[in-house]
Structure 1
Amino acid sequence: MGEVLSRLRHDFESVTASKVRFLEEKGLIAPQRTPAGYRKYTHADIERLRFILALQRDRYLPLKVIKEYCEAIDRGERPENLPAGAVSPRMVSPQLADDLSVRSRRVSALELRRQAQAPSELLQKLVSFGLISPVDGYYNEHDLAVVRSCVQLQTHGIEPRHLRAFRVAADRELSLVEQAISPLTSRRDTASRARAAEAARELSEACLALHRALVNGRIDRLDE
């Protein structure tokens, strides 16, 4: 992420890690993941980010419109109403287009299992233990990330019943974040809501970084 930001900040001084991850959450980019779950950004990802950020800054376009442009480009098209002077990114790979599609829509249990390569029994257990929560029978990209992680953990003998503490910890973290941003969420204007969402993402990233550092610190002691 640091390298991505260093390449972008020459042209976009205010870009932050939370901003990039927000664009990922909205389905505009989908960096690859290492087996350990870390994001891997390619030159094409950075090119796509430049395109999105430029349309936001220079054309004042909402993300919904920018996403429509990106989806058209992913299909190999050049949108007719693309603003003059806007340079579109290269078309993404079929796999990346599939990942982006999943991020932008809800999926059925069958599609979720296919994407995560998970057995139906595992999916049922994750629902029963509250680790994923379908809405009207459909799941979102966060549910997909949870299932993929649990599939990997299961290969090490860690079952869903062992993971309920993660759900409890996530709820506690959310309460902490909500408390911290309450001065912003109490306001009704759009700018305050946007700042609240940005602050919540930054706090969440800080909490995750703290958790990772604490766990890795304990793991390193195993070698001592």
Structure 2
Amino acid sequence: MAEPGATHLSIGEVLGLLLEEFPDVTISKIRFLESQGLIAPERTASGYRKFCAEDVELLRVILREQRENFLPLRVIRDRLDSGAIDTSGDATPVRGDERPSDAVVANHPAASRAASTDAAPGRTAGGGAGAAPTLLPGVLVNRQELCAMASISPDDLARLEDFGVVTPRPGVGDLFGDEAVEIAAAAGGFLRLGVDARHLRSWRTSVEREAGLFEQLIVPLLRQRNPQARTQAIEQLGQLNALSGRLRSALMRSTLRQYTTP
């Protein structure tokens, strides 16, 4: 936590401070490190990140461990938690004259890649859906960040929202959670393969019908209002969800067999 009155930086300004030592770093990379629980910048009321000097130094430490010791993020996280990695370094408060100019950040190749990721997210080869970074439970992202993580454009997101395929997390304003990132990434793959957003609405409708059926089955347990019954309800819900996935997959394979079998 930053000291009162400490200077904070936007994610773009942090990128500019890191580019000299780490030319390949991008805004998406910084966001991904947060989604994996390695950094935890503060947020403004509107959901934008604000980084303090300690956050910037921690990013440098993480990126050095990746580059010099070839450590996977899981190992880096464990070493940070155990204190095996010294994050104190020689961090100094970020001064105003250390802030990179917009021109310096925008003209750097890595910054250009990051900007293009935000403005017009890239498409995966063949139009398929790439694997979206997984957010930790409780981490929320704004619209621009969701588009970057799911590799969809703002127009794509608007269409998906219009048809109720992607929705913000209830009660937190215009912010999205881990489920929305995963849904948007999969939906983006369909869009790139020519499936219109209005047709994806049928998936949402089907899921809502299934959820309604599951609810009828577990409500009697939840009404008992005791921990054992609630645990049983959650376990039953997990079983129902798994069976639903198996049944849907088997039905789809059976239906498509005429196209896949010589």
Give the TM-score, by structure 2 length. 0.48
Output aligned runs, 1:139-218, within 5 Å: 139-218=176-255
Contact kept? 2:134, 2:178, Cα under 8 Å = no
Task: Give the alignment partner of residue 121 of structure 1, picking from 136, 155, 163.
Answer: 155
Provide the C-alpha distance between the structure 2 equivalents of 1:130 and 1:107, rounded to a whole number of angstroms.
18
Q: Quickly say closer, same or farther: Cα 1:75–1:138, change in 2 above 3 A.
A: farther
> Which amino acid is the alignment partner of residue 80 of structure 2?
E
User: What is the deviation of 1:151?
Assistant: 1.1
The sequence identity of aligned pairs, in percent, is: 23
Structure of higher CA gyration radius: 2
Provide the C-alpha distance between the structure 1 equivalents of 2:153 and 2:250, rounded to a whole number of angstroms.
32
User: How many residues matched?
Assistant: 141
In structure 2, the gaps of 5 or more residues are 1-34, 38-73, 84-131
SS at match of 2:156: helix
Deviations 1:113-154 (Å, cap 9, x if unpaired)? 110111000101111111111131011111111111111111
> Which amino acid is the alignment partner of residue 187 of structure 2?
C
User: What is the deviation of 1:28?
Assistant: 9.4
Provide the C-alpha distance between the structure 2 equivalents of 1:101 and 1:172, rounded to a whole number of angstroms.
27
Contact kept? 1:73, 1:79, Cα under 8 Å = no
Provide the C-alpha distance between the structure 1 equivalents of 2:78 and 2:142, rounded to a whole number of angstroms.
23
Provide the C-alpha distance between the structure 2 equivalents of 1:198 and 1:141, rounded to a whole number of angstroms.
21
Provide the C-alpha distance between the structure 2 equivalents of 1:28 and 1:192, rounded to a whole number of angstroms.
33
Task: Give the alignment partner of residue 77 of structure 2, picking from 70, 74, 78.
Answer: 74
Q: Quickly say closer, same or farther: Cα 1:202–1:150, change in 2 above 3 A.
A: same
Provide the C-alpha distance between the structure 2 equivalents of 1:105 and 1:131, rounded to a whole number of angstroms.
20
Deviations 1:183-208 (Å, cap 9, x if unpaired)? 21112122222221121111011011
4+ residue segments displaced more than 6 Å:
none
In structure 1, the gaps of 5 or more residues are 1-26, 30-70, 81-97
Provide the C-alpha distance between the structure 1 equivalents of 2:205 and 2:223, rounded to a whole number of angstroms.
25
Provide the C-alpha distance between the structure 1 equivalents of 2:140 and 2:235, rounded to a whole number of angstroms.
24
User: What is the deviation of 1:77?
Assistant: 2.1
> Which amino acid is the alignment partner of residue 168 of structure 1?
T
Query: What's 1:63 paired with?
Result: none
Provide the C-alpha distance between the structure 2 equivalents of 1:170 and 1:141, rounded to a whole number of angstroms.
17
